[in-house]
Copies of this chain bind each other. A is one copy, B any other.
């Protein structure tokens, strides 16, 4: 399979216009199960250490469960406040747990067998799962569906709500839904929370 200019330009655009979507931007619009499946299937096409495919996905539609997870967000958000004196922090909407069409919790399940390639760096398993998340994010974007990754959550609380065992590690908690708009640039850049870093600044 040889790719050409058309595919380069296409991928370029997808990477450039992928955004992290927050609550005030989600629409209350159904996503077809075919599209949900397409997003998840993009995830399982990710690279994984020793082809271990250690990812597990939970699709959460239940309002009740999401309310519980949102409560944990509120608690963690409250705890985080004292770190940020910038008043912008109080105004930011940092999740879309309840507003999005559904949530997806992405876990790493530690395999019982030894995994090729994971003998010197244990974290490779989790990293494989992050690759799956990025694949899903990009696939959602070309389907014009937004994803927001919520990290102001205690993994333990999420796991308790979802009743998953100790052998699972929460890697990502994603809010997934159609959106009012995809911003042309990252929101935190627009708000001047952080400035954009250019390539020469991140080269060693």
Contacts and interface: CB of A to CB of B under 8 A. Distances in A.
Q: Is the interface of A mostly helix, strand, loop or mixed?
A: mixed
Interface in A189-204: 189, 193-194, 196-199, 202-204
A44 B196 CA distance: 10
A163 B13 CA distance: 36
A1 B57 CA distance: 28
Interface of A: 1-3, 6-8, 10-18, 20, 37-38, 40-42, 44-47, 49-53, 55-59, 76, 79-80, 83-84, 89, 92, 94, 105, 107, 114, 116-121, 123-124, 126-127, 130-131, 133-135, 137-139, 141-144, 149, 151-155, 162, 164, 171-172, 182, 184, 186, 188-189, 193-194, 196-199, 202-204
Copies of this subunit = 2
A135 B141 CA distance: 14
A55 B37 CA distance: 31
Contacts of A153: 120-121
B194 A57 contact: no
Contacts of A151: 49, 117-118, 120-121, 124
B17 A14 contact: no
